[in-house]
Chains A and B, each alone.
Chain A
């Protein structure tokens, strides 16, 4: 079925960058896209972008374009999400979530446990 394990909580200062990792196991990493979704305290889920596990192609939400970079290391079955120029409004739990291959309107059937990122001076 699979499992996604994310890196631990982070505390960053405004203007800094954060990089969160998501290690996949129990399935073939390169066969599936990986999405990143965040949730600010008490707020709804917000899609940030995704990466094709096979060819590394990416697409980002316009809201985060220019600040977010999603990469992957196929040898480690790990995806990464880096967010730069952090501000207090970026304080949130960041999730990785597995999508479905070859479809654009995919459901996210496997989620990481979440990584809390706190931005504070």
Chain B
């Protein structure tokens, strides 16, 4: 059974950098897309971007383009979301999720447990 296991909660200061991870426990990491979704406290879901680990094809939401970097290391079945300079407004829960295809019924069928990122001085 495929599971996405995310790294633990982070507490950072404004201006610091951060890289959180999402590890796939299955054997098909390169056969699907991994997306990242932000959920600010008490708010809804916001799609940030997706990556296809096989060739690192990456698509970003215009709202997050240039604000974060999505990457993947297929050798260890892990996707990453990183910031170079955090802001207080980056405080949120971040989920990774699997999409089997972007051509047929694009949807996120398996989700990680979430990583809470708190940015505070």
The answer to whether A and B belong to the same complex is: no
Please give the residue numbers on chain A whose beta carbons come within 8 Å of chain B beta carbons, in ascending order.
none
Please give the residue numbers on chain B whose beta carbons come within 8 Å of chain A beta carbons, in ascending order.
none
